[in-house]
Amino acid sequence: MSAAGDGFVRIAGGPLEVEILPGFGARLHRLRAFGAELLRTPDDPAGHRGDPYFWGSYPMAPWCNRLPAGPATAAGRPIDLPASFPDGTAIHGQVSQAAWEVVEAGDDAAVFRIAGGGDGWPWRYTVEQRVWIAGDRLGMALRLTNHGDSAMPGGIGFHPWFRKPVRVAIAAALVHPSNLATEAQPIPVAGRLDRHALDVLDEGIDATWAELGEPPVILEWPVAGIRAAMTVDAPGGPPPFIVAAAIPGIDAIAVEGQTHAPDGLRRLARGEPGAMTLLDPGETLDVAIVLAFARTA
């Protein structure tokens, strides 16, 4: 491990190496497996600040995906979230661009923590992230704790951008076809949203899959000769979801594990499936992702 003047925390073990930027979202700047770069990474780490939503892999809390900006009510409390994305929504929570505390840093594991709240979100909370390597496995775990004096809606997840060329398979029975205009109920997977077969993710897809199989995701980099099985666990919470997106002009795909479906506050208010979790004061929400890497040739 090192925490050099460049601001990185580096952990490594076996064929894996990770560089993390605690000063900017405790996000993964690099992920190397068997010497290959697998994340979309700017040449200069400062590039994360200039375009914070499309590089590396970052944690999302206390919500994932988009929420409406502006005055609203959530769990009986007034909120007033500022827009943080060009489409006018409040996207991916409050912690992905903030400075996190380094709690522990060892050769093959590191722990980070941040206290959040305010800026239109009336609850205080903390988020703890643990990143670890064990042989050919990379693990990332998040824990969100409500430190407010009333029940808080919560949602957490990870948002990695995996470099192309990459193929992906998603074992899921149901899908929310669009993360931009979501219906209450998911639908059975079909057509290009049936991702059971390992293949290139079609450009323009931005959807959320539910009722996941095991493993929920397989990723394969054919040129590098690397495959990874991704598992997602939300112990004690609702079944997790997989979001995947292939955005035109981005040389990577996002494949995210998270605890709720798009527009999670609306779902909570209306009793729709895939809602954000209502956390009592002192209650926690957990999610963990493990990537198991292997050579394919």
Alpha-carbon distances, residue 188 vs 157, 193, 209, 210, 211 (angstroms)? 23, 9, 10, 9, 10
Chain CA centroid to CA 81, Å? 20
What is the model's pLDDT at position 65?
94
Residue 3 lies in a domain: no
The per-residue pLDDT for 137 is 98
Mean pLDDT within 195-209: 97
Asked if the structure places residue 110 within a domain, the reply is yes
Q: What is the pLDDT of residue 249?
A: 93
Cα gap 71→77, rounded to integer Å: 11
Tell me, yes or no, whether 15 lies in a domain. yes
Q: Give a yes or no: residue 1 inside a domain.
A: no
**In this predicted model, what pLDDT tens digit does every residue of 107-158 receive, in sequence order?**
999 999 999 999 999 999 999 999 999 999 999 999 999 999 999 999 999 9
| pTM for the whole structure | 0.95
C-alpha to C-alpha distances, 31 to 37, 257, 266, nearest whole angstrom? 6, 17, 35
Distance separating the N- and C-terminal Cα atoms of the chain: 30
Taking the C-alpha atoms of residue 52 and residue 218, their distance in angstroms, rounded to an integer, is 26
Q: According to the model, what pLDDT value does residue 256 have? A: 98
Domain annotation covers residue 65: yes
Q: Cβ neighbours of residue 5 under 8 Å, at least 6 residues apart?
A: none
User: Considering its fold, how many domains does the chain have in total?
Assistant: 1
The mean predicted confidence, pLDDT, of the chain is 95
**Token reading at 153:** 């809606």
Residue 4 placed within a domain: no
Tell me: pLDDT of 206 over 50. yes
Supply angle C-alpha 279, 282, 286, rounded to 5: 60
Using CA atoms, how far apart are residues 100 and 130, in angstroms rounded to an integer? Answer: 12
CATH number for the domain including 228?
A: 2.70.98.10
Return d(Cα 240, Cα 259) in angstroms, integer: 5
CA 295 to chain centre: 25
* Domain presence at residue 102: yes
Q: Which residues contact 190 (CB under 8 A, 6 or more apart)?
A: none
* The two structure tokens encoding residue 246: 């292939």
Question: What mean pLDDT do residues 175-204 have?
Answer: 95
Quick one: pLDDT at residue 264? 96
Reply yes or no on whether the pLDDT at 6 is more than 90.
Answer: no
Task: Report the sign of the C-alpha dihedral through residues 130, 131, 133, 139, in that order.
Answer: positive
Query: Given this model, what pLDDT does residue 181 score?
Result: 79
Domain assignment of residue 232, given as a range: 9-295
In whole angstroms, give the CA distance from residue 159 to residue 125: 20
Q: What is the model's pLDDT at position 237?
A: 87
Q: Measure the CA–CA gap between 78 and 72, rounded to whole angstroms.
A: 6
Contact call for residues 169 and 253 (beta carbons, < 8 A): no
The answer to whether residue 147 sits within a structural domain is yes
